[in-house]
């Protein structure tokens, strides 16, 4: 059943408490301001779903998939996102607190101006994630692949990048203040750091 088909009343937000969505097709659904508390979304299709300002609390999203899911301004608290395969997810201006993202692959993740606190990315692939102007507090990237990440104007506090399997920063290497990196990562990033202060490194 589609999200828009289970709307409680027209013009009122959707409220879901303790509901399991198993393989539900939510493609093209519209549920701005929807609330999911103690819910499980397993194997759901989220293509082009409009869930702006949605709230996910104490919920688990397992094996969700889709392109163009709009979660702008959403709130995720005490949430697990497991083995997701998503592309072009809009989470700009969102709030993520005590969130675990484990496994899966997310392309073009838009977290511009988002606020992340006590978030762990573990064993996942993030291709061209956009963290521009975001605020990251106690965020850990554990065994992740970060490809062409944009950290422009980001603010970091206690961000752990030491165990990132592949750290590829497209923009914002100068904004890593507040992050912890490993000695090997320092060597890999040295040319970029040097370029930021106008130093050329030549053999």
Inside any domain, residue 203: no
Inside any domain, residue 116: yes
What does the chain look like in DSSP terms, one character per residue? --GGGG-SSTTS--EEES-EEES-B-TT-B-TT-EEES-EEES-B-TT-B-TT-EEES-EEES-EEES-B-TT-EEEEEEEEEEEEES-B-TT-EEEEEEEEEEEEES-B-TT-EEEEEEEES-EEES-B-TT-EEEEEEEES-EEEEEE-TT-EEESEEEEE-SEEEEEE-GGG-TTEE--HHHHHHHHHHHHHHTT-----
With 70 as the cut, is the pLDDT of residue 8 above it? no
Comparing 74 with 31, which gets the higher pLDDT? 74
Inside any domain, residue 202: no
Inside any domain, residue 107: yes
Inside any domain, residue 201: no
The number of folded domains in the chain is: 1
Does this model's pTM top 0.75? My answer is yes
With 50 as the cut, is the pLDDT of residue 5 above it? no
pLDDT tens sequence across 109-164 = 999 999 999 999 999 999 999 999 999 999 999 999 999 999 999 999 999 999 99
**Domain at 78, CATH number:** 2.160.20
Confidence of residue 7 (pLDDT cuts 50, 70, 90): very low
Residue 60: closest CA among 30, 103, 25, 4: 103
């Amino acid at each position: 059943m589609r999200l828009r088909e289970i709307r409680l009343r027209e013009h009122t937000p959707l409220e879901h408490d303790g509901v399991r969505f198993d393989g539900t097709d939510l493609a093209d659904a519209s549920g701005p301001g929807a609330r999911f508390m103690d819910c499980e979304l397993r194997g759901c299709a989220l293509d082009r779903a409009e869930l702006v300002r949605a709230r996910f609390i104490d919920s688990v999203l397992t094996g969700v998939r889709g392109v163009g899911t709009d979660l702008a301004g959403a709130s995720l608290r005490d949430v697990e996102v497991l083995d997701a395969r998503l592309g072009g997810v809009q989470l700009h201006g969102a709030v993520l607190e005590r969130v675990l993202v484990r496994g899966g692959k997310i392309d073009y993740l838009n977290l511009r101006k988002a606020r992340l606190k006590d978030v762990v990315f573990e064993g996942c692939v993030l291709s061209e994630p956009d963290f521009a102007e975001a605020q990251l507090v106690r965020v850990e990237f554990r065994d992740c692949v970060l490809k062409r990440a944009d950290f422009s104007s980001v603010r970091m506090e206690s961000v752990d990048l030491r165990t990132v399997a592949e750290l590829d920063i497209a923009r914002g290497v100068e904004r890593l203040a507040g992050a912890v990196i490993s000695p090997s990562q320092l060597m890999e990033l040295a040319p970029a750091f040097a370029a930021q202060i106008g130093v050329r490194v030549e053999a």
